[in-house]
Chains A and B, each alone.
Chain A
Amino acid sequence: MYATFSYDVTAGRNSVDDVRTAILDVFGDRKMCDLLSDTFICEIVDTSDFLALVRELKKAAKDVDGQFVFVMTIHEGGTRLNCNADFSKAKARAIIGSGDDE
């Protein structure tokens, strides 16, 4: 499985770089592939893993005083990613599985 993730950072007490670091720390060593600077796909084990990630992201948002909001969508492994982004096919293939990456 994989998830698409997009986020918006707003100005506030924490610097934009600190907020970005707080977000990316949640993803740790997961395979990720950028679609845009603030949109990427990442590997997901199963629905429990997805829910745990969402919970951690919500906590991270709270820790930085709500300076980012996000959208995360879960996809079945091997399902095509239909989007116009210019991204690394090899990275995406490793995340999506079954070679359907475009």
Chain B
Amino acid sequence: MRTLVRAIGLVLLFGTPLAAQDSPLIARSGGGRPVVQPDGTYVFQHIPHSDIIFEGQIAPRIIIVDSIGRATRNVLLEMKPPSWGYQVSTTPMVRLRMFDQTSNPVRTPSYMPKATVQFARFRNLSKGTDTDSEEFNRGPIEMWLVDTIPFGHHSNGQDGCLFTSQTRNEEGECVVVAPTPEPIVNKKDGSFSTNYIQAMLFYGRMHLDSSGASAGEFATRWDWRVGAGMQFNPEGYVGGSIKPELSELYGPTRVLLSALTSRRDLWRCGRFAAEAHFQYMTTPPPDVSNLITQLEGACHPRNWGGAGVFVRFYHGQDYYNLGFAESITRVMFGMALQKEGFLSFRISPL
């Protein structure tokens, strides 16, 4: 019975997106709305083993307006002009953990809807001058990317008090009725909620070739990108913002660093990617390190419709809503849907 529940959980979480999407690994120039620097959709397990049956994240990016796709048409023009694009999108992100307990509960899912605004600037750094030549069209293409989340929300949809020592009074406020030496987080139905603002600046380069690209285009063969930014979880930032008692423990101000590289058609991977992400919390919870480290490698085989496998090392504050006061160290492994297509660029009119 438990196996059946697990199987159904996996199918519900992962099977539907797989059936619904057949994502190409290459984002055609001007032919659509490329997804740059998105969150991924995953389902995975981890070691060392815990009481979690599986964890998953569903994060489809819904693009509202986009001009990045159009910008990629103008990068390979003769004068090598810088080309600008922007994109406004929303992501109704959800994280789930199914626990190996009676009835396999999915205990306090993370609801994480957010709005994303991106500005990208592309420029051809090739030393070639002849637009007919391969050298000119191989780039590299320089990309500056401003990736902002003007509004992001993270809550768990519960109405209990944050700590086990508290209960709600007649006014609905949580008051301490059974003090404990250290506050213990109510992981059963404690209310967790914060709103955040985030901004990152990335710089990267894309090296192109025409093999596997659409007619009249050169597509990214491999790329790299590094970025830095900040995340703030201010009190009073729209309804559902972080409360003072949570703010003191959560680590509301964070410095973000990221480095990514990916390659098209490496061994059997239509897309191979390696990523490193770091967060530094200025005021972490007690017993939790300031630094969060996440390292990931992923392979998306050709003809898997964008799906792939990944392995990830994570160390630092637990990112799962009410887990914020704990530190975890895990090696995660599972399946992911393709996160980002290789950008391609249209050749100059001959």
Query: Which A residues have a C-beta under 8 Å from some C-beta of B?
Result: 1, 44, 46-52, 54-55, 58, 72, 74-77
15 other A-B residue contacts (CB within 8 Å) besides A1-B215, A47-B210, A47-B216: A44-B215, A47-B215, A47-B217, A48-B134, A48-B209, A48-B211, A51-B134, A51-B347, A52-B134, A54-B350, A55-B133, A72-B350, A74-B216, A76-B214, A76-B215
Across the interface, name the chain B residue whose C-beta is closest to A79. Answer: B215
Q: A33–B211 Cα gap in the complex (Å)?
A: 24
Across the interface, name the chain A residue whose C-beta is closest to B344. Answer: A47
Residue among B133, B215, B216 with max Cβ neighbours from chain A (10 Å)? B215
Q: A14–B215 Cα gap in the complex (Å)?
A: 34
Across the interface, name the chain A residue whose C-beta is closest to B209. Answer: A48
CB-CB contacts below 8 Å: B201-252 with A? 209-218
Q: A28–B133 Cα gap in the complex (Å)?
A: 20
Whether a CB of chain A sits under 8 angstroms from the CB of B137 is yes
Residues of B contacting A1 with CB < 8 Å?
215
Q: A47–B215 Cα gap in the complex (Å)?
A: 6
Tell me which of A48, A54, A75 contacts B210 (CB under 8 A).
Answer: A48
B215 near A74: Cβ-Cβ < 8 Å: yes
Residues of A contacting B210 with CB < 8 Å?
46-49
Whether a CB of chain A sits under 8 angstroms from the CB of B132 is yes
B290 → chain A closest CB, angstroms: 49
B54 → chain A closest CB, angstroms: 40
Residues of B contacting A46 with CB < 8 Å?
210-213
Contact of A47 with B347 at beta-carbon distance under 8 Å, contacts A52-B134, A54-B132 already known: yes
B213 → chain A closest CB, angstroms: 6
Residues of A contacting B347 with CB < 8 Å?
47, 51
- Across the A-B interface, the 6 shortest Cβ-Cβ residue pairs: A47-B210, A48-B210, A46-B210, A76-B215, A74-B215, A1-B215
Interface majority SS on B: helix, strand, loop or mixed?
Answer: loop
Interface size class of B (residues with CB under 8 A): 10 to 19
Q: A47–B211 Cα gap in the complex (Å)?
A: 8
Across the interface, name the chain B residue whose C-beta is closest to A75. Answer: B215
7 A-B interface contacts by CB (under 8 A): A46-B210, A46-B211, A50-B215, A51-B350, A52-B134, A76-B214, A77-B215
Q: A49–B137 Cα gap in the complex (Å)?
A: 12
Residues of B contacting A44 with CB < 8 Å?
215
Residues of A contacting B218 with CB < 8 Å?
47-48
Across the interface, name the chain B residue whose C-beta is closest to A72. Answer: B350
Contact of A51 with B215 at beta-carbon distance under 8 Å, contacts A46-B210, A72-B350 already known: no
Q: A12–B213 Cα gap in the complex (Å)?
A: 40
CB-CB contacts below 8 Å: B309-350 with A? 347, 350
Q: A49–B216 Cα gap in the complex (Å)?
A: 10
